[in-house]
Structure 1
């Protein structure tokens, strides 16, 4: 709803639709009604539009997208035009955020004032759509084409001060000021002044003459930043129309662009992603607890054991969350180096204005270097971040168990190892869990939390709450080798080298993946991470080329197909970017360059095994790279390791840079159609058999297709649970 009041001669219309004042249908009805009341009242000389509660309207109600109610009158653009046409000065009083449809409302007002702490922006592109209430036509008229293209095509939020510097905001109210009182006084001061040039539909785009140059520039940038995504391109095309067409015709271009995007699978995928981010916080550990029933323990202090790259990032995340942070290294040089890095990074954040002077000082004072486990006896949470070795981790957990107070939670940052086995080294298995951060931990948003067989409800609730405090996308999963992310990713890397054996070179595989939308292909990612990481894991499993007895077939490990090309690379010193050569070569930069030496290694291997390379289509490469991920995802759902398909999709979007506009591996399967996905998987399983178990069709996927075809992704788990309850 909206509320109407008057303060002498100024009408105040306040949106009151908590928590975010979304512009739902009932709100829009009230706004248009109250604008008519204010316009008709002879005692009203000016109108202030504001938000009750925590914020100005943040935008349209996303739940109404793709529903008929979104088209019911009045629309947001009806309100925008009513604000602009008013004969009385209209002033938007912005506090909190004015985003999307909220900023479009403000652009309909003749004037805009904002709190210095406010954020403004048009982020619709992140939902796979565009600003559909005149934003593509109005914003360029205020801040110019170049800036409008940046704001709309990338969808970032901007401080109100930046908006003021560009002419979008007419007055800034200092922190602690009264935005509503300031708006009333400002509105009164505008009474009697001409409104002609304050009506943006009457204004020309200031840099319209540069439209072709700017269009070419931003199309190039969009192509690099948002590979394969449709919405940024359509946004630019529609913004271009603001410089070439009348306001009225530009609005028609905007309407057509919006209809195109709403009909696309991309907008549906990105809206799914928007809600999925919020769903993952509603975690469930079957048979133990869920988000609604479990209460977290209060955590005031966190200890990070191990100050390598990962430990340093975790410590920074802890400090940013306001925790007293003990950093532990038994080696004094390693401790000093780790602390120096952390302190330096805090200063860098301060210089970049990412944190204030006060925050930086608080973070610096919260660092407590420790060189023995006895120094962390009273912390609330320990996060171990040492080398990925079970023996070492169990030894550390045994020591921590002896020195830490009984209430301390012991968490491991392991990326693959069995949490229950780690917990077995302690006498407090109910207090042990996994907290798998992704490198660099202070930048990557994903936190994959793992509960063990004996993890308590309080322990699970606490690690989930800590993830929230660290502002991570925090997903709870069950315990198995590799958990969700790395268990699935293992088959992605396995299939990639099989493709090299048969048909392609690294750059060909990577091009297919970047064309699909990944920022980097599988082999470039391998070089960036370090090819020796996978080699160490394979060494631990005893399957590398060098570990095999004489006479062992190069392409077999027992009954399983194996490709040793990755082993050959590491054994030749091609560890990746850090040494300037891996699957690619690097000449003084991070840019991968196809290397004839790698082709030679692959060609000689093929010749030795009488493999004649064949032509392979991009479609086959994409299917072979992505469908094993999808198949394993269904197996993970079957086993209850992940509670929902969107948990898997958020892990892949935020941990593995899966292109957001396709939703994630599980949503992509739904988009393609489960019957088609299963058909391809079955064909590969029939051809490969037991030597390639990643192609064995998931029981869940098979059952869903046979009984329901391609059900909506929201119904997969309910259908399976109903089926299991009957069997």
Structure 2
């Protein structure tokens, strides 16, 4: 044995040929601090071995290396000096691999991402099987590669391709990786090690010039000044257009490759170290690393709940076949769970089927869906006007009109149709689950299953537990949501549940700005361009539907009369009364049409001001942000304190996946903590006179004074 560590080992497998195998305890290999130290020690042992002729790098797992251990990041990055020392030391470990005085070949199966990709880039040759997936996704964490990826990848596949890969964080399948020159061969999985050994032996025998292949990675980038100018000018333009100003990592990626282009490996690596460390101190990095960790926590919690399910969902039923019902039916069918879609009108069934066909058709156009999948999915949807088709389903998702009386009648009727152990759920967006449960004889098998529109795009499903809902029901619904490819988050019942409950105070803050005469296009511009929402509050209201929002104000006012009273004279109520419902009928705050090329466009026509009154006051951007966001943050804190949501992490993921909270801000709780609890309390107190939605809770005030965090780690 040349080297034996807990996470990797090295030994000769043939005369002069050593296998360096990553073999960490657990299901995956990753570069945590311990693994990096052992990697360094193993390479020292190899460099000193006089019998060594070549090295093959392998993994004992079905997946090669998934990347760095991100759970260490937030703690590590809090200490600037430690971060600087760590990244400099860690990145030089990969130099040791590249500097071995013998050829090396990586044999890759499954994911080789982040540090895993950088490890194989430090080898001379790379052989992969059909399952391989290779990439540098660090930009999705607000970072750039930190183990030499920005130095080696441009010298292996060229700066244009490398910049596209690094700035987008895209993963590459074997064929794409081969076409780029990122890998040298693709073989069947059972021939992977043999093929890598054969290539290594050819290099040892001198049939492959491994020294010439390695040399470009040690030198400045081979490109003249004109080529560099074109490459980096184009890259800067693309990054500016796609990433904007809120995401510093893609911009830093272009900078690090450009600055390092004229340098040999060591100096180029110093530049990478410098910019990597700089990014670790940004709010965007902390937020996006926080999102990753929160997402892992949510997924782990969901999988644990699903494993406890005693009922498997093999066939589903959807009641109500409009856009929403059709979207739910499609999502179930496309993921392999057949669904019966029931409505009382044939034209509604046609609309639901058309919705599914339209989604599939777009997938075919983009080359993401094969025609066979279209037929399979549509065959999995059975439209019907009759209840008897629902007798053998395992779960019902009710998606009829958002009216408690209508929903109650439909739920009571369907309980008498389905099997005694069938689960019944409602896709209500605001109505209390306990209130709806009053219509059922067995409320233990009933809960909310709130999807977000458009269903096929929005990842979140709120699973709403009522006071009578059984644990078995929740577990089965969570498992079904996972089968549908969704991220389920379990919340307790209240009007609006979690997402809509915190969204309406945000809309209320927007309405108060309108009442003060602030122009809604300016509000939208500030909330989109400066805060980072995909849509400002006026535009979002139009997309949700002014009539839907107006109806929900009744529900929220009934649930929280002092904090969310209905404003009969507010803009939403006035637009609803004027039948300006938003995008669904072409006019709301904005008016919607298509331009000469058929592209959708929205414009402001002055007739909207005839309804809501003239709004021409300009407001300070910071004031607009504060008056919209303070109510949302206050409400999510109340949800946490009321036990509606179990953790700050789940709350942040819910807002990210449900309403598109800006990822670079990390969610409402991460935004609160980035501002600082004390600073937020001071900000909210400044506007406390505007009403209860601006007034912080005693619990938040106490946490601010004690310097505590809402995050558990």
Instruction: Return the TM-score normalized by structure 1.
Output: 0.87
**SS of residue matched to 1:512:** helix
2:667 to 657, 664, 669: 664
The 3 A distance-change label for structure 1 pair 580 and 298 is closer
Deviation at 1:378, TM superposition (A): 1.4
Q: Distance in 2 between matches of 1:96 and 1:366?
A: 31
Q: Is 1:527 matched with 2:545?
A: no
Give the whole-Å Cα distance in 2 for the aligned partners of 1:258 and 1:557: 45
- Within 1, Cα distance between the matches of 2:365 and 2:192? 30
Distance 1:516 1:449 in 2: 29
Q: Is the 8 A contact 1:92 1:112 kept in 2?
A: yes
1:279 is the counterpart of 2:285: no
1:204 matches 2:221:
yes
Q: Which residue does the alignment assign to 1:567?
A: 573
**Whole-Å separation in 2 of the counterparts to 1:169 and 1:293:** 38
Deviation at 1:396, TM superposition (A): 1.3
Equivalences, count:
686
Query: Superposed, which structure 2 residues align to 1:151-300 within 5 Å?
Result: 151-174=165-188, 176-191=189-204, 192=206, 193-199=208-214, 200-202=217-219, 204-205=221-222, 209-227=226-244, 228-281=246-299, 283=301, 291=305, 294-300=308-314
Aligned to 2:4: none
Residue aligning to 2:627? 624
Matched, 1:338 2:352: yes
Shift of residue 489 of structure 1?
0.5
Q: Deviations over 1:18-38 (max 9, x none)?
A: 322001222223323333444
SS of the residue corresponding to residue 416 of structure 2 reads: helix
Distance 2:323 2:301 in 1: 29
- Answer yes or no: is 1:446 the counterpart of 2:456: no
**Separation in 2, partners of 1:48, 1:605:** 72
What is the deviation of 1:537?
3.5
Q: Secondary structure at the match of 1:714?
A: coil
What secondary structure is seen at the aligned counterpart in 2 of 1:453?
Answer: coil
Distance 1:557 1:408, change over 3 A: closer
Q: Please show how residues 392-407 of structure 1 align to structure 2 within 5 Å.
A: 392-407=406-421
| Kept in 2: contact 1:302–1:323 (CA 8 A) | yes
Gaps of 5+ in 2: 1-6
The CA deviation at 1:350 is: 5.1
Q: Distance in 2 between matches of 1:252 and 1:159?
A: 30
Residue 145 of structure 1 deviates from its aligned partner by 2.5
CA contact (8 A) 1:524 1:592 kept: no
Deviation (angstroms), 1:214: 4.2
Matches of 2:87 and 2:450, distance apart in 1: 48
Q: Shift of residue 601 of structure 1?
A: 5.2
Report the CA distance between 1:179 and its aligned residue.
2.1
**After superposition, what is the alpha-carbon deviation per residue over 1:479-516, rounded to whole angstroms, capped at 9, x for unaligned?**
00000100110011111122123242122111221222
Answer whether contact 1:145 1:205 (CA < 8 A) is retained: no
**Counterpart of 1:12 in 2: which secondary structure?**
strand
The CA distance in 2 between the partners of 1:523 and 1:680, in whole Å, is 24
- Alignment match, 2:13: 7
Matching residue of 1:412 = 426
Q: Which runs of 5+ in 1 are unaligned?
A: 544-555, 607-612, 717-727
> What does residue 674 of structure 1 align with?
677
Residue 714 of structure 1: aligned partner: 711
Structure 1 residues 404 and 655 mapped into 2: Cα distance closer, same or farther (>3 Å)? same
Q: Residue 160 of structure 2: SS of its match in structure 1? A: helix
* TM-score when normalising by structure 2: 0.89
Out of 380, 392, 395, the position equivalent to 1:366 is 380
Cα distance in 2 between the residues matched to 1:536 and 1:92: 60
CA distance in 2, matches of 1:655, 1:396: 26
CA 1:331 to 1:116, structure 2 compared with 1: closer, same or farther past 3 Å? same
Q: Secondary structure at the match of 1:592?
A: strand
Alpha-carbon distance between aligned partners in 2 of 1:93 and 1:396, rounded to the nearest angstrom? 58
Compared CA separation, residues 698 and 405, structure 1 to 2 (3 A): same
Structure 1 equivalent of residue 526 of structure 2: 512
**Aligned pairs (5 A) from 1:581-600:** 581-588=587-594, 589-598=599-608
**1:218, 1:450 → 2: CA distance?**
45
- Give the secondary-structure state (helix, strand or coil) at the position aligned to 2:158: helix
Q: In 2, distance between residues paired with 1:255 and 1:314? A: 47
- Structure 2: distance between partners of 1:20 and 1:605: 60
| Contact 1:226-1:517 at 8 Å conserved across structures | no
The structure 1 residue matched to 2:34, chosen from 18, 26, 36, is 26
**What is the root-mean-square deviation of aligned Cα atoms in Å?**
2.9
Structure 1: distance between partners of 2:11 and 2:711: 43
CA distance in 1, matches of 2:110, 2:176: 15
Cα displacement string for residues 654-703 of structure 1 (whole angstroms, at most 9, x for unaligned residues) = 11111111111111111111122122222322x23xxx331232232123
The equivalent residue for 1:576 is: 582
Which deviates more, 330-339 or 164-173? 330-339
What pairs with 1:379-398 in structure 2 (closer than 5 Å)?
379-398=393-412
The answer for the alignment partner of 1:546 in structure 2 is none
Structure 2 equivalent of residue 609 of structure 1: none
> Which residue number in structure 2 is paired with residue 702 of structure 1?
701
Q: Per-residue CA shift, 1:282-316, capped at 9, x if unaligned?
A: 559xxxx9849943421111112222111122122
In 1, distance between residues paired with 2:593 and 2:309?
Answer: 53
* Contact residue 489 and residue 654 of structure 2 kept, 8 A: yes
Report the Cα distance in structure 2 between the residues aligned to 1:84 and 1:558, rounded to whole angstroms. Answer: 63
Measure, in 1, the Cα distance between the counterparts of 2:373 and 2:43: 43
Structure 1 residues 88 and 245, CA gap change in structure 2 (3 angstroms): closer
